[in-house]
Amino acid sequence: MISRRKFMKSMCVAAGSVLYAGCSDAGVPGNGAFTAAYAQLEEQGRLAGRVEEAYAKLERCDLCPHKCLVNRIRGEKGFCQAPERAVVHSHTPHYGEEIPLVGQGGSGTIFFSNCNLRCVFCQNWPIAHLGRGREVSDEQLADMMLDLQRRGCHNINLVTPTHVMPNILGATRIALKKGLKLPLCYNTGGYETVENIRLLDNIVDIYLPDLKFMDNDKSAKYVIKGRGDYPDMAQAAIMEMNRQGGVLRTDKRGIARHGVILRHLVMPNHVAGTREFVSWVAENLPRDTYVNIMSQYRVEHMAFEYDKISRAITSGEFVEAIQWAKDAGLSNLDQRSLSRYEIHRRRLS
Ligand code: SF4
């Protein structure tokens, strides 16, 4: 008797093999000779300097656009409420991410507590808003990375990393010296400064940003109360990620090695601005950027208090979202999203 979990895992693996067979590129790092970006930077003698530069930011924290300028080394806390050390909720292989991240061994996720956003519809609010988790040293964080590598994961997927970026860099350097080889995947809500993303150049191999909202007023209502700069900040950061990583490249097994995977969650009543999102991508990024337009919005946390987002999306809303993306010429849409599109489309016909 095969368990549901094993069945889902085998389906993902099978789908990945089919979908990505033939997508390999002999020139892509990872086809037998992958070296993570941070390892190359260490070889050049430049990683230690980046760790130092990142840690210096904790004394007047400007790791994200809030620019709280608090001294986190002395215990002061800013908007995100993060202390000096990283707080981790859990670390585990994850099979629910995009197929190129999951492969056979799963994506090695580390869920960081606290967040620099306050989305009223947050699905992880006990971790992101209440900060549930345990403080860890950089050495302990490095051990988690190595544990995920030992368990066969294909990448280190850093979930909500912005406010702990210095700790991540410190831990990566420790883990590298103990044998870490996996690419880092920077899984961010998108509220970043270009300056901080530049610090990650030649350290992060895979960028996994959200672009949640396109309208300033809506972001001030649903993402960070009173702050409408989310769209501008996220768009600028994503352009820099694209400059560094470009279009996603996979190895001969279809496993992500380098580049950008861009996420956007369709929300009810068009509040996320999906049509504008699609137009922005088409105008500002390569048309073959890997884009995951997601359908799994659910009413969580405070969302029931807001009329326009207090329901799930309809089949029609998801179908039109994917259709807009196709019409705009986006040619590298997530395969599972396309399957869901087909299901919803047939439901409507
Ligand atoms: S990371 Fe936290 S403390 Fe630092 S600027 Fe952002 S919200 Fe403020």
Between the CA of 240 and the centroid of ligand 1 the distance, in Å, is 20
CATH number assigned to the domain with residue range 29-348, chosen from the 4 options 3.20.20.70, 1.10.230.10, 3.90.470.20, 3.30.70.100:
3.20.20.70
Residue 32's pLDDT is what? 60
* Alpha-carbon gap, residue 309 to 264, rounded angstroms: 16
Identify the CA nearest to 338 among candidates 322, 349, 317, 327. Answer: 322
The 3-class SS string of 103-137 reads CCCCEEEEEECCCCCCCCCCCCHHHHCCCCCEEEC
Between the CA of 179 and the centroid of ligand 1 the distance, in Å, is 31
Regarding pTM above 0.85, the answer is yes
pLDDT in tens, the chain (349 residues): 344 444 344 444 334 333 333 333 333 444 468 999 999 999 999 999 999 999 999 999 999 999 999 999 999 999 999 999 999 999 999 999 999 999 999 999 999 999 999 999 999 999 999 999 999 999 999 999 999 999 999 999 999 999 999 999 999 999 999 999 999 999 999 999 999 999 999 999 999 999 999 999 999 999 988 899 999 999 999 999 999 999 999 999 999 999 999 999 999 999 999 999 999 999 999 999 999 999 999 999 999 999 999 999 999 999 999 999 999 999 999 999 999 999 999 999 8
DSSP state of 101: H
Between the CA of 62 and the centroid of ligand 1 the distance, in Å, is 6
Q: Which residues line ligand 1 (CB under 6 A)?
A: 61-64, 66-68, 70, 78-80, 82, 116, 163
